[in-house]
Structure 1
Amino acid sequence: MAQAWTADDFGSNESKVIVAAPVIAELNMPRFMASGDTSRLTLDITNLTDKPQKLNVALTASGLLELVSDSPAAVELAPGVRTTLFIPVRALPGYGDGEIQATISGLALPGETVADQHKQWKIGVRPAFPAQTVNYGTALQPGETWAIPADGLQNFSPVTLEGQLLLSGKPPLNIARYIKELKAYPYGCLEQTASGLFPSLYTNAANCRRWASKATVMRNAVHRSISAFPVCCKCNVITAAFALWDKNGDEEYWLTAYVMDFLVRAGEQGYSVRQTPLTGVMSVCCAIYKIRA
C-alpha cells in the first residue's frame, strides 16, 4: 500500500503480495507403525518461485526407522509446480519414535544467498500386540535359588521388556494395583460400587498417600457414596432387597447380603450410615436365611 498527499490533494493505491517460502516440503505419513512394518511415505515438494529450480533432496532416518532405498535423484521443478517423491521406510523393533530428516539444497534466487532447508518428522513405533504382564511367585527356603523359566520370555520382544523383583517376608500383595483396578472398572453397578469402596474402609492417611490417593478425597468419596446408599435403596425393589442397576431390576440376594455387610462395616469404622434402610436390608437377609434354613 502507498499513500501520497499535498496541501490540496491526496491519493493511495494497493496491490496484493504473496508471502510464502520459496520451496515447501510436506511429508504424508502414518501416525504410527508397528515394529517390522514397511510403508511408503510421500514427500510433496512445491516450487513457489517464478524461476525453474533444480533441487537436491537428501534423506536420512534415525531412531526406530530406516530407509529402504537411497535418496532420490535431483528434482527439476518449473515455477509453481509440485512433485511427489516416494520414500520406502521400515520400522525397527522397539517402542518409541522414528524420525525422517530431509535436507533440500540447490535453490537459486537472483541476488540472494539461500540456505539449505532442513525438515524433520516423527513417526511413533510400537509393537503390534498389546502389553502383557507375567507374574511369577515362589517361596524360597534357606539356601534355595530361583530363576525365570527358560521359556518365560520366548514370545516377547527383548527391547520392550521390563522387570521388577520384589523380595519380602510377607505375601507380595500389590495393594495399590488392586485398589486402582477396582476404581477404574468402567460400569459401576451396585456390586462394583461397593467393591471399589471396601478398601477405603481400612486405609489410613499414610496408606492413602503411599497408594497415590489423597486421604481427604478418598474419605469424602466414601462419605458421599454411603450417604447415597439410602437413595440407592430406592435402587432396591419393593421388598428392600437390592438389584444390580436400578429399582426395576431383579432381586439379587447375594448382593443384598454383600451391601449389608459393607454398610455394617462402614458403621463400625465411624461412617454415618442411616439405620432405617439398613434395618430393612437386615430384615430381608434374616428372612431369606430362615426360609432357606
Structure 2
Amino acid sequence: MDLTRFRTPDLWKIFYAREALGVKTWDMYDLVMGAFGARLEKALAIGGDGSAEGEKNTKANRFKSVVKFFGPFTLKAGATKEQQITMPNYIGSVRTMVIAGNNGAYGSAHKATKVRKPLMVLATLPRVVGPNELVELPITVFAMEEKVKNVSIKLEANDLLQPTDGTTRKIVFNKMGEKMEFFKLKVAKKLGIAKVNIVATCGELKSTYQVELDVRNPNPRVVLVTDKLLNKNETWQTDVETPGMEGTNKAVLELSNIPPINLGRRLQYLIDYPHGCIEQTTSAVFPQLFLNKVMELTENQKQQTEENIRAGLRRLLSFQTSMGGFAYWPGNRYPSVWGTNYAGHFMLCAEEAGYTLPVGLKNQWIRYQQQQAKEWERNNDSYYSSSELEQAYRLYTLALADRADLAAMNRLREQGNLNASARWRLAAAYQLIGKHEVAQTLIANLDTKVEPYKEYSGTFGSDTRDKAMILETLSLMGKQKQAFPLVKELSNALSGSSWMSTQTTAYCLIAMAEFAGKSGSGLLQFSYAVNGNPKKQQKTDKPIKQVNIPLKSGKANLQVTNIDKGMLYARIITSGIPVEGSTLSNEQNLNLSVKYVDSQGKPIDVTNLKQGTDFEVLVTLRNPGLRGDYSNLALTQIFPSGWEILNTRFGDIDTASDKNAPDYVDIRDDRVYSYFGLKRGETKTFKIKLSATYAGHFYLPTVTCNAMYDNDINACVAGQWVDVKR
C-alpha cells in the first residue's frame, strides 16, 4: 500500500458526498461471481458436479497478499481494546487501518508496521518454466540479530522440479546481514504448478518461504486424425499413439452416421487458436452454441461449453466502441463492419439459447446497426461504407434481433447486379420476417457454386465460408434436399487435412450443425473396447457421438464395432504438445530475420549470456511482393523462462520507427503477439527490450509469423537452447 499510495478510506467524505440527480443501475453479477473462479461458476452451471475441474486451469499464485478484516466492534467512551492478529508468512510492510463512526460522525487512523523476524529467507524464480529446462534458484537469508550464526537451509519441491545438486545448504554469519545460496532445479517433462518450499533454521529460530510457478509448454498443440468407414457389423482394431509429452495428450473416438465434419479436430483448432481479434474470439465460441444439436454432451462438457460461451460474451465488451459496433482489436477506435455483424449474430443466438447478455451490449449494438443500415450506400468510399454482403448480413442480424429495417432491405434488393452471396444472405433476412415469397424470388435460379477466393481482411471470407452461409440459408428455408450437395461438399472440406481459417472453420461447423439439427439422423449404435477390457455399447439419437479414450503412457489399443443398420464414419482424434518445437527455419511468401543486439546495437550471441545482461531483439519482416499487399499478419515471439520483457507498461516495447508500429500488441508474461500489415515490397522491424534475469539452461521457442487468413503466407526461425550464467 505504501508503494501504490493507497489511502485509508475517509468515511465522512463518502457518506456526505453530493448525490447525483440521476441514478444508474448496473448488473455486476458476472463480474462479482467471476472473482470466485471456476469453483463457484461451475457449481452454478447445469449439472453442478465436477467442480474440482476448475483446479486443472488454476494458475500459480505468485504473490500472496496479506488482507484481513476484523469487526465491527463497539468501543465505549474512554475505553481501550486490543486485537491480536496472526500474521501469515510475510516479509515487508503492512498498514493497519481503523475506521469508526458514531451518530453521523466518522473518523479513521492508520499506521504502517515493518514485518520482520530475527531469521528470514527469500527466494525467487521465473514466472514460468518449460519442460527439461534447468533453472538456478537463488535463496537470500537475512540475519537480523547478532544471535543468528549457523543457518541450515532445506529445499523441498514437488514432482515437477528435481534438485540436481542436493537439497541442503549451510550458511555461517559473523555479523548481521544477508547471504545467498543457490540450488539447481531440473524441470520434469510434465505440466502443472511447480511448488518450492525453503526452510531456514538456526537453533529454535525458523523461517519458511514458498514459491509457485507455472510449468508451461510454449509449443503449439499437434492434432492427428485417423479415420475409417465402417460397414454394418464391421470391426476396426487399431493402436492409438499420441504425439505429445505426458500430461498434454488427449484421444477421442468420434463416430457419426452423417457425412463427417471432423468436429473434434476443427473445434479444438478454434479453441486453441492463440490470437484473439473480434472474429477469432467469436469463432472460438459460436459453434459451441450448436454442439447439443449434433452430439450428446456430458455434464462436464455442458459446464465447459457454458463457461466458454459466457466468457465469450463478456469478452465482447472489450471490443465495443463508443459507437456501439465492435472493433477488430480491443481499444481500437473504429468498428469492424464484418466483426460487428458476426459477433452480433453470435450474441443474438446466445441470447436465444438462454444466455444473459452483459448490460447495454445488445442495445448499443442495435443502435449502431440501425444507423449503418440507413446510411449504407453502394460504392461509398467513406470509412462507413460496406460491401453488399456486409449490408445484407447487417440486415439479417437486425431481422434476427426483431428490429428488421424493411426499407433498407427493399432498397438493397432493388440494387442492380446484386452479387450472389448478398442475395443469399438477404433472402435469409426476408425468410426470418415471414416474407417467404420474396426470399424465394431472390434465390430463384441462383447457383450454389462459388468461385474460389480468399479474403485477408474485409469479411475474412473464402468460397468455402460462402457455401456454408448458403447452406445456412437453405436450412432456414427448409430446402434440405437442395442443401444436401453442399453438405457433402463441406463435409469433404472439414474432414480433409487442408488448412482452413478460423472464419471458414467456424461458419462451416455452424451451418453443418444447424442442418443436422433440423434434418435428424436416426439412431446411432456401436460398441468399443479399450486395452482388452470388456466391450461397451453406445447409442444416441444425435448424429455424432464422442468417447474419450483412456491412455496409458500415451498409448492405447482400441476396437470399434459397427452394430448400426447402416454405415458409420469413425475417426480417432489424438492431440498433444511436443517437448520441443520446430528445429527448421522456413519462409513461404514472407521473409523473416531475427537479430539480437546489445544496448549499443552490436550483435550478441544469446546462446550464452551473462546474468543481468540487458539486450534487444530485432525482428525484421519483408513482403517479397509476389502476392500483393498483406493484411492481418501475426508475429508470435515467446521468450525463454530465464529472460524477462523489460518495462512492458512504460512504452519500452516499441518499433524501430513509428512507421513500423503494429496495429495491435498483446503482451503476456513470457510472450508478445504483434499484429500488422505489409504492403508489396514493404519491410518492418519490431524491437523488444529484454533482460537475462535468471541463470539456467532454457529453451528459446520458434519465432513465427503468418497471415491469419492465408496459410500460404508464413515464416519461422527455429527454436534453440540458450544459457544464462552467473
Please give the TM-score of this superposition, normalised by the length of structure 2: 0.30
Which of the numbers 378, 386, 389 marks the counterpart of 1:257? 389
SS of the residue corresponding to residue 158 of structure 2 reads: strand
SS of the residue corresponding to residue 210 of structure 2 reads: strand
1:191–1:259: 8 Å Cα contact kept in structure 2?
no
Cα distance, 1:77–1:235 mapped onto 2, change above 3 Å = farther
Q: Which residue of 2 aligns with 1:9?
A: none
Q: Which residue of 1 aligns with 2:677?
A: none
Cα distance, 1:52–1:189 mapped onto 2, change above 3 Å = closer
Distance in 2, Cα, partners of 1:179 & 1:18: 48
5 Å-filtered alignment, 1:84-99, equals 84-99=180-195
Q: Which residue of 1 aligns with 2:357?
A: 217
The structure, 1 or 2, with the larger RCO (C-alpha pairs under 8 Å, 6+ apart) is: 2
State the structure with more CA Rg: 1
Residues 127-147 of structure 1, C-alpha deviations (whole Å, 9 max, x = no match): 131344555555432234456
Q: Which residue of 1 aligns with 2:514?
A: none
Distance in 2, Cα, partners of 1:166 & 1:277: 45
1:226–1:273: 8 Å Cα contact kept in structure 2?
no
Q: 2:220 is matched by which residue type in structure 1?
A: P
Q: Which residue of 2 aligns with 1:111?
A: none
5 Å-filtered alignment, 1:1-293, equals 20-107=116-203, 114=204, 116-134=206-224, 139-146=229-236, 153-154=242-243, 156-170=244-258, 171=260, 173=263, 178=283, 180=285, 187=328, 189-198=336-345, 205=352, 208-209=353-354, 214=355, 217=357, 225-233=365-373, 236=376, 240-241=377-378, 248-249=382-383, 255-260=387-392, 263-264=395-396, 267=399, 271-284=402-415, 286-288=416-418
1:46–1:83: 8 Å Cα contact kept in structure 2?
yes
Distance in 2, Cα, partners of 1:264 & 1:160: 42
Distance in 2, Cα, partners of 1:18 & 1:259: 64
Q: Which contiguous aligned blocks of 4+ residues in structure 1 show a shift greater than 6 angstroms?
A: 147-150, 174-177, 182-186, 200-204
Cα displacement (A) at 1:103: 2.3
Cα displacement (A) at 1:198: 3.9
Cα displacement (A) at 1:121: 1.7
Cα displacement (A) at 1:36: 0.6
Q: 2:372 is matched by which residue type in structure 1?
A: C
2:242–2:250: 8 Å Cα contact kept in structure 1?
no
1:67–1:88: 8 Å Cα contact kept in structure 2?
yes
Distance in 2, Cα, partners of 1:235 & 1:68: 69
Distance in 2, Cα, partners of 1:118 & 1:97: 19
* Structure 1: gaps spanning 5 or more residues: 1-16, 108-113
Identity of counterpart residues, as a percentage? Answer: 13
Cα distance, 1:233–1:82 mapped onto 2, change above 3 Å = same
Residues 190-236 of structure 1, C-alpha deviations (whole Å, 9 max, x = no match): 2232233445666784xx24xxxx0x539x96675444323124663
Residues 134-182 of structure 1, C-alpha deviations (whole Å, 9 max, x = no match): 55555432234456786x633x213211233343434555789756158
Q: 2:378 is matched by which residue type in structure 1?
A: A
* Structure 2: gaps spanning 5 or more residues: 1-112, 272-282, 288-311, 320-327, 329-334, 420-726
2:192–2:216: 8 Å Cα contact kept in structure 1?
yes
1:227–1:273: 8 Å Cα contact kept in structure 2?
no
Distance in 2, Cα, partners of 1:270 & 1:124: 44
Cα displacement (A) at 1:61: 2.0
1:102–1:119: 8 Å Cα contact kept in structure 2?
yes
SS of the residue corresponding to residue 247 of structure 2 reads: helix
2:128–2:213: 8 Å Cα contact kept in structure 1?
yes
Distance in 1, Cα, partners of 2:375 & 2:187: 53
Cα displacement (A) at 1:30: 0.7
SS of the residue corresponding to residue 70 of structure 1 reads: coil
RMSD after superposition: 3.9
Distance in 1, Cα, partners of 2:395 & 2:374: 16
2:120–2:208: 8 Å Cα contact kept in structure 1?
no
Distance in 2, Cα, partners of 1:231 & 1:125: 49
Distance in 2, Cα, partners of 1:201 & 1:242: 29
SS of the residue corresponding to residue 260 of structure 1 reads: helix
Cα distance, 1:117–1:271 mapped onto 2, change above 3 Å = same
Q: 2:173 is matched by which residue type in structure 1?
A: L
SS of the residue corresponding to residue 232 of structure 1 reads: helix
Q: 2:341 is matched by which residue type in structure 1?
A: A
SS of the residue corresponding to residue 191 of structure 1 reads: helix
1:53–1:78: 8 Å Cα contact kept in structure 2?
yes
SS of the residue corresponding to residue 157 of structure 1 reads: coil
Q: 1:24 is matched by which residue type in structure 2?
A: M
1:104–1:116: 8 Å Cα contact kept in structure 2?
yes
Distance in 1, Cα, partners of 2:129 & 2:396: 53
Cα distance, 1:73–1:288 mapped onto 2, change above 3 Å = closer
